[in-house]
Homo-oligomer: A and B are copies of this chain.
Amino acid sequence: MLIEIRSEAFDPLAELSRYQDASLPTARIGALAVFIGTMRDFNEGSSVHKMTLEHYAGMTERQLQTIVDEARNRWPFDDALVIHRVGELFPADPIVLVAVWSSHRGTAFDACRHILEALKHRAPFWKKESLEQGERWVRTNTDGHAPPPSP
């Protein structure tokens, strides 16, 4: 189990490879579910050229650990890796990686999705977008269970 906050750009697929090769008996596990969230160059109709991710250091790690522990109690998976960026991000920069290894695919999917949703609702991160017209704080998260309404 590894939870990390990163202030520099990271490569989620390389991190996954490294973590899996270093610590996981893949021949005993069977299923890996992964979510990767990436910074987009637009949001709510505006083009976004930079994003600043603020966090509450200490509380963030504490909340993420609680979220992963809760998920593991509910879906007894083998291992999980959570990495989240903070600081200045640019379009196409990875923001978040959530990976869950399990011997059962249903468990891996359920736990991965649950951790991501809980992170979005409870981990103290805040996004500020830099637009041509200036800066704005993102006010709320989108709903994770249905597609957003058509524009």
Q: Measuring CB to CB, which residues of chain A are less than 8 angstroms from any residue of chain B?
A: 13-14, 16-17, 26-42, 75-76, 91-92, 103-109, 112-113, 116, 142-148
Complex partner residue of A33 from B26, B34, B40, B107, CB under 8 angstroms: B34
How many Å from the CB of A23 to the closest CB on chain B?
A: 14
Complex partner residue of A116 from B41, B105, B143, B146, CB under 8 angstroms: B105
Interchain CB contact under 8 A, B106 and A146 = yes
A-B contact pairs, 24 of them (CB 8 A): A13-B13, A27-B39, A27-B91, A28-B40, A29-B38, A30-B37, A30-B39, A31-B35, A31-B36, A31-B38, A32-B34, A32-B36, A33-B33, A33-B35, A34-B34, A34-B36, A35-B105, A37-B105, A40-B103, A76-B147, A105-B144, A106-B143, A109-B112, A109-B113
Interchain CB contact under 8 A, A40 and B13 = no
A116 to chain B: which residues have CB within 8 Å?
105
In order of increasing CB-CB distance, the 9 nearest A-B pairs are A27-B91, A27-B92, A34-B34, A27-B41, A32-B36, A26-B92, A30-B40, A13-B13, A106-B144
